[in-house]
Each structure stands twice: as structure tokens, then as C-alpha cells.
Structure 1
Amino acid sequence: MAKKILFVGAGAIGSYIGAFLSRAGHDVTLVDPWAEQVEAIRKKGISVTGPHDPFEARPAAVHLNEAQRLPRDFDLAFVAMKVYDTAWAAQVALRHLKPEGFIVASENCWPDPIVASVAGASRSLGLVMSKIGVALWKPGQVERGAEKGQGTGHDVFRVGEHDGRVTARATEVAEMLKVIDGSQVTENLWGERWAKLCANAMGNPVQAMSGLGSFEIASSEVGRAITIHLAAESARVGLALGYRVPKFNSTTAEQWAAADRRDVYESLDRMLTPTTASGRNWRSSMGQDVTKGRPTEIDYMNGHVVAQGRQQSVPTPVSAATVDAVREIDAGTRKPEAQNIERVLRRAGV
């Protein structure tokens, strides 16, 4: 059955998911404060490219200052903003839901408690997405850089309740998202969320501080070094918190956490080293933020790892130095350049 769906956030992920759901026959409305994006969608729709046939979709698009005129009968709402905008975005979403409607937190970092603080856990679902890699380079044009996971054993979308129950609404959202890629309900939202946090924390800020793409970083010994250290610290904190952290970026959390052993480190370094002379040099969301002059999510990504590590008495020196470096880039007191990787490792005592 077609649903009436609100997206608060028409950036890369909101536009990509919204376009697919609109094409599938759902009644989709996108709200965003980015005026050029809203106008582009109104005039020409959303152009979608990626590891699939290109297509155009025509969802409704509304400027944020017009959102108060929307009806209050949406079945569900996806919050797809930067995580630091989650609270107000959830308030907008909640205002326009029908009484039994709910919010799907569709963001990086740790957004679910923020959404629950606004709507209550009973009206909140978490959506964890991995290896989807979308970008919005120009208004109205969204591109997916990652290959499809469907058919390769990887489910891009994991939908979960805060209490781990498998519910009808979680199942319905997971089924809905299968028009895009592999999708399932998870009974382990918090473990899945931490695994995605680890995957982001080991890559996004390295691109943000260096200005390099994913292939360039993996092709550099120092790039692989900081990647391994960030993954190891993040994994150790998640395990110390008691989360059941699934595999991320090709190996287990336990393997990443054991990177202080020389044999494990060398194995991880070999795994990360490219086997060809060229490859996809993708820009992460945080790398895109720096390029576009937007504030990054560093405090909510690696900063969250550092804060939780402090509470669990787990050292996170490379993560802490990374947070400091990206904050300096956000403040305009440091330029993104490749040399920042070595500076961060030195600052962390590595």
C-alpha cells in the first residue's frame, strides 16, 4: 500500500531514498532549508544516477519556511539532516505526522536518542545504512558511488526498534526500502549503529583533514595507519560499552580492536592496501562538507567515540587528536592538506 511520506532533509540521502520511494508510487514530500535544491526539484525533479539505470523522480518539494502549511496526516517521516540538526528536524517531522505516525532516524553518528527525546521511543525507528555512498554535487542531481549490496550478501539498510523488537512497522519500512537495495529488520540497532559509527569514524575525518579521496588515503602508508588506529579505538569503545558490534569494513570489531598486536596490524594494513594502480576515489560526506564550507559532524562522530571512551576508561588518543584537527578546519584556522595526517598521528603520540 502506498504511504504518505515526509522527508525532513532533501540532501544526498534524503533525495536518493525519496526519489526511489516516489518512483515506487508513494506520496513523497521533501522539506529542506536549501532553497536552490527545493527549486531545482520543483522545476526538474531529482536526477538519480549510480550502479543502476538512471532515472528522474518528481516528489513534492517544500521550503522550510513553508513547512508550517503542510497537513498533519503523514504516515511516517524520515529525518535526513546533518546530525546536529536532528532535534529541530524531528520537531518539524512530529508536527506533521498522523497520531500513529513515526519518525525514522536516517542519519550518521548517534541520532536515535535525540529523535526519541522529541517524539518518544514509541514513535521512533532507527535506520542504519552502510556502503551506500551518495553525493549531491549540484541541486537536483544525486549520485550513488557505491556498488549495490543486493545479491552480494550485504544489506545496505537495517531498520530497528530501540528495544530490539521485530515489529510490523519496522518490517514494513524494511520492505519499502528493498526497491533501492538489500534491506532487513535488525534486533541489534545499537550494535549496528556503532558499527556504522566505526566505519564513518575511521574514514570521514581523514578525508576531511587531508583533502584526499578514499583511494588516495588507502594508497598511502600513513593514510592506512590513521585509518587503522581510528577503527581500533572506535571498536574498543563499542565493545567496552557491551554492544554486539557486527563486522564493518571487511572484518570484525574484535579484529580491529586487536590492532595493537603487530601481526594483526600488519594483516589489517595488507587488507586496506589497494591491489590495483587506480580505483574509485570517493569523497565521504565529511569531505564533501569541508569542500562546501559546511560545519562537519566531527563532534558527533569521533567526538562521540572520545566521550564514550572517557566514560569507559578506554584511551582514544588518535580520535581525540583527529577531533581537534577537524575542529580547527571547521574554524578556518587550519587548511585541509595531506600533511595533517602525520601531524595528527604525532600529536597522538603514534
Structure 2
Amino acid sequence: MSWDKARGPRIAFLGTGAQGASIGADFALAGLDVTFIEQWPDHVMAIRENGITVNLPTRTINAKVPALHLCQVAEIKEPFDIVFLVVKAYDTKWACQLIEPCLAPDGLIVGLQNGMTHEDIADVVGRERTIGAVIEIASNMFVPGITNRQNDHDTSWFALGALDPKTQERVEDVADLLRNSGTVEVMEDIRSAKWMKLVVNAAELIPSAIINLPLADAARAPGMLEVMRAAGYEAMQAALADGAKIVPIIGMPPVTTNHPERYVDQIFEEVLKTFSQADTLTTSLQDWRKGRRAEVQEVNGWVVDILAAHGQKAPVNQRVMDVAYDIEAGRIEARPENSTLLIETYQAVADRR
């Protein structure tokens, strides 16, 4: 690493919503050199005035952190050694293009995001400067300057891995930093790990948002668990077709089953049991309640496109996309009754098996 070992790396969090702000706060309280870069003006002002407040299950922390508006990136004089990218998957490329001039020549960008964003990062800064990541934390933010994190460090999980084998030896140093916020595993095959996370995201994020319910309630709604699992099964088919391997994530034990669908069930069960609470809203539902678009194409659309490239169909994920786009266009509302729109497709698929 080229950073000053005595001072430590110069770190930026680009995107400081619910996830980025809570992790960045942990870094600041650990004494690391951290700067927040954020696109929500009120959030930046709140952090400048009162610091970032993180409400955890049994405690509240507050950290004072320098916070910049996006427009101030052009004013940055000293480059960053590490940028943790915590923006929406669909914002990845422009965010990387924005920060690339502020990245040290051997600096790294770590994509703490849903979706297969590592390739978008690499397209901008190069594979040798890209670290892929998997993140499993439940959190929400509706008030500027305040994030509500439903997982403390003991139930927060991350995986990191380099795209370029020559960079893999640097990943452990980044992992040590991230361990200020939770458990971190360094993985050789981060691409497969990200696919496994996308599998469970396809099952949970948009389907639960479509019926406007917390994740746990959505999984208990009549017929929805079958729909959600079916979306995950199609995602696993896409992962395997794309050359990914079934690897354990989120702290699960080594894979002991050769049945892909059974492993999807195991991942989903672990998320519901360990990484969500009764009132946990998926990030997609939070987006819709804030009037923003969700990561539809980047998760369910990815499944549809990958299977299509291999001559296969993903009818459940396609239906999830169609309904989601109707909601985002204002043609229908997100509500529990939408479950029938998804169940009908699932049943038609099941009947053809």
C-alpha cells in the first residue's frame, strides 16, 4: 500500500445514505481519515451541523465527519487512497467518473452495493483498482443526518475480493478497515459471491416492495414465499449459466448440498432469520416511498438478460420487472393486492413443470 502507515489511508465514502453513513460513522469513530461525499444537500448540511447519528438496536452513536456536496468534488486537492462506493447500482458509472480524478494512482474503489457493479467500476478506473464487495446490513434513512441501522457489528457481514489477481494481496488491508463495522471475509471468487447475493436480492427486494410490506410480512403473505423463491431459483439458474459457482455467503457454513434451489432456500432463510427484523423494509421499498426508482434492471433485469443471452427465460423475474415498472410509472400503486399479479405467473410456470 502506498498510504502513510502512520497516518493511515485517506478514505472517502461516496454515497452516504443509510448504509454508507452508518459504516462511515464507524470508520470516523475508529479514528480513520474519512470524508463523506453526498448528493442530498439537506443531508450534507445536517452532518455538518450535528454530525452523523446512527441509531443501532441497543445504542446510538454520533460521529463528526467532513461532508462534501457533489459539486465540491472539483475542489478536492489531496487524492483518496480508498473510495467506498455506496450509491445505487444504476449510479455506479457516473459516480466513478466523478471521483476518478480524485483517486490516487494506486488507489482503490470498493463497491459496497447490490448488483454486479464491479464491472462498471472497472470500466472506469481499471480492474487493478477495483475491489468487489458483498454487503448484508438492514438499515433505513428518512431524516437527514440520521440513519437507523438494524444490525450492530455482530450481525453485519461483508465480503471483499479483487478483480485483478495482482490486487488480491491488498484486499486484506482493506478488510481490516471494514472490520470496524462488522465481520469481513476475504474471498478469491468475489464474482460468485456477488452472484449469490444477487440471487437473494432478486427474491426479496422488488417482490416485497411490490406488495408494500416489510420483508418478513411479505414472506408470510399467502403465496408470496413461493413467488420469491421462484425468482431466486431463476436467478440461481442465471448465475450458473454465467459461470458463477455456488459459494457460501453471509457467514453461512460451507455448501453441503448439490441442489441449487435448496441453497437458494437456505440463503433466503438466513437473511430472514439473522439480517432482518419484523419491520425491515427492503431498500427498494424505501426508494419507492421516497419517490425514487429502485434497482429493478440491476437485479431482476440482470437475471432476465443473462438467461436470455443463454437462450432461456425468466418468467417470474420478468413479471416482477413489469409490475415494478408499472408502479414506478404511476399506473398502479404498490399494495398487498398486487401479490395476485405475481402469483398468477408463478402458478403458470409451476403448472408447466
TM-score (structure 1 length as normaliser)? 0.88
1:79 aligned partner: 85
- Could you tell me which of 16, 23, 28 is aligned with 1:17? 23
Say if 2:110 is the partner of 1:109: no
1:44 aligned partner: 50
Tell me if structure 1 keeps the 8 A contact 2:128–2:164.
no
CA deviations 1:115-150 (Å, max 9, x no partner) are 1110010111112112x1121121111121236446
1:185 aligned partner: 186
- Could you tell me which of 61, 65, 70 is aligned with 1:59? 65
Tell me if structure 2 keeps the 8 A contact 1:175–1:184.
no
Pairwise CA distance, 1:4: 1.0
State the alpha-carbon separation in 1 of the partners of residues 246 and 269 from structure 2: 20
1:280 aligned partner: 278
Say if 2:296 is the partner of 1:298: yes
CA deviations 1:143-168 (Å, max 9, x no partner) are 21236446xxxx71111011456734
Paired letter, 2:289: T
State the alpha-carbon separation in 1 of the partners of residues 124 and 259 from structure 2: 35
1:141 aligned partner: 146
CA deviations 1:255-307 (Å, max 9, x no partner) are 77447xxxx99x88x969x99xxx61210100100111101110111000110
Pairwise CA distance, 1:188: 0.9
Pairwise CA distance, 1:253: 10
Deviates more, 1:245-254 or 1:200-209: 245-254
State the alpha-carbon separation in 1 of the partners of residues 191 and 106 from structure 2: 24
| Cα 1:244/1:52, change in 2 over 3 Å | farther
Say if 2:177 is the partner of 1:176: yes
**Unaligned residue ranges in structure 2 (runs of 5+):** none
Tell me if structure 1 keeps the 8 A contact 2:16–2:38.
yes
Tell me if structure 1 keeps the 8 A contact 2:84–2:111.
yes
2:76 aligned partner: 70
Tell me if structure 2 keeps the 8 A contact 1:94–1:102.
no
2:333 aligned partner: 335
Paired letter, 1:32: E
Tell me if structure 2 keeps the 8 A contact 1:306–1:319.
yes
Pairwise CA distance, 1:236: 1.5
State the alpha-carbon separation in 1 of the partners of residues 15 and 314 from structure 2: 32
CA deviations 1:296-330 (Å, max 9, x no partner) are 11011100011001112333110000011111111
- Could you tell me which of 92, 95, 103 is aligned with 1:89? 95
1:223 aligned partner: 224
State the alpha-carbon separation in 2 of the partners of residues 102 and 70 from structure 1: 17
Tell me if structure 1 keeps the 8 A contact 2:110–2:131.
yes
Tell me if structure 1 keeps the 8 A contact 2:128–2:166.
no
Pairwise CA distance, 1:106: 1.4
Pairwise CA distance, 1:345: 2.7
Tell me if structure 2 keeps the 8 A contact 1:236–1:314.
no
| Cα 1:186/1:163, change in 2 over 3 Å | same
CA RMSD in angstroms, aligned pairs only:
2.6
Tell me if structure 2 keeps the 8 A contact 1:5–1:27.
yes
1:289 aligned partner: 287
Tell me if structure 1 keeps the 8 A contact 2:43–2:145.
yes
CA deviations 1:6-38 (Å, max 9, x no partner) are 121111121111111111111111111110110
Q: Describe the SS at the equivalent of 2:27.
A: helix
Count of residue pairs brought into register by the alignment: 335
Tell me if structure 2 keeps the 8 A contact 1:110–1:300.
yes
Tell me if structure 2 keeps the 8 A contact 1:51–1:148.
no
| Cα 1:343/1:216, change in 2 over 3 Å | same
State the alpha-carbon separation in 1 of the partners of residues 121 and 68 from structure 2: 22
State the alpha-carbon separation in 1 of the partners of residues 208 and 232 from structure 2: 14
State the alpha-carbon separation in 2 of the partners of residues 37 and 309 from structure 1: 40
2:13 aligned partner: 7
Paired letter, 2:285: G
- Aligned pairs for 1:116-131 (under 5 A) are 116-130=122-136
Q: Describe the SS at the equivalent of 1:333.
A: coil
Tell me if structure 2 keeps the 8 A contact 1:166–1:185.
no
Tell me if structure 2 keeps the 8 A contact 1:87–1:114.
yes
Deviates more, 1:219-228 or 1:296-305: 219-228
| Cα 1:271/1:112, change in 2 over 3 Å | closer
Paired letter, 1:323: M
Q: Describe the SS at the equivalent of 1:202.
A: helix
Deviates more, 1:292-301 or 1:47-56: 47-56
Identical columns (%): 27
Paired letter, 2:133: L
TM-score (structure 2 length as normaliser)? 0.87
2:157 aligned partner: 156
1:195 aligned partner: 196
